[in-house]
Amino acid sequence: DAKTTQPNSMESNEEEPVHLPCNHSTISGTDYIHWYRQLPSQGPEYVIHGLTSNVNNRMASLAIAEDRKSSTLILHRATLRDAAVYYCILRDNYGQNFVFGPGTRLSVLP
Amino acid sequence: GAGVSQSPSNKVTEKGKDVELRCDPISGHTALYWYRQSLGQGLEFLIYFQGNSAPDKSGLPSDRFSAERTGGSVSTLTIQRTQQEDSAVYLCASSLGTGMSGANVLTFGAGSRLTVL
């Protein structure tokens, strides 16, 4: 699986938007971009995924660069409950396991 | 079931004992994954099952670790002769896995916290 690079940590104020970046310059044409998050003392949970087009769901939005070498997870209004480690992962149609990097630790300030 | 179920949620054992951790994936999910997470660390991949077979065992840290999956459903991770460094949260996840689509997503269980004294 291709590698991803994320900042180690980010901070946001409550009720403000948060943009979490992910670089994946070696992405291949068949790689899906997945985001998961892990709240304190819980297992990771799925957030969103996409291939080429931007995606929206009830949790977040995923903005994918035109060349697909980077993407951004957007939380439109951060809440204290969004404080977590966010993982950006690439997944192709042939890969057998999901490789989790260190992720970005998001702190949300009241 | 509605989600991925893991048991026990907590296990305290003495060094040298064997432990078994169980994962019951979502019904119909053919792919099953085991990860380990030590305190304050990221997720470490252990093993992956597609149906009953394990095409990728590359993450098992030593021959004291083994896993099996029978009937394409429940999986058991066994750690023999436990050591203190085995203390961690062991997480199981499952996904549809059909056709190995990159769109298939993981659903995680709550984990089994293992403490080796």
Residue-wise pLDDT tens digits, A7-17 = 999 999 999 99
Instruction: Compute the nearest-CA separation of B44 from chain A (Å).
Output: 7
Segment B9-28 shows an average pLDDT of 96
- Say yes or no: B99 contacts chain A, CB-CB below 8 A: yes
User: pLDDT by residue for chain A (110 residues), tens digit each?
Assistant: 558 999 999 999 999 999 999 999 988 888 889 999 999 888 999 999 999 999 999 999 999 999 999 999 999 999 999 999 999 988 866 666 677 888 999 999 99
- Say yes or no: B88 contacts chain A, CB-CB below 8 A: no
pLDDT digits (tens, 9 = 90+) for A89-105: 888 666 666 778 889 99
Contacts 24+ apart (CB under 8 A), A75-79: A75/A12, A75/A17, A75/A18, A75/A20, A76/A17, A77/A15, A77/A16, A77/A17, A78/A12, A78/A13, A78/A14, A78/A15, A78/A16, A78/A17, A78/A18, A78/A106, A78/A108, A79/A14, A79/A15, A79/A108
- Say yes or no: B105 contacts chain A, CB-CB below 8 A: yes
Determine whether the interchain pair B102/A43 forms a contact, defined as Cβ–Cβ distance below 8 Å.
no
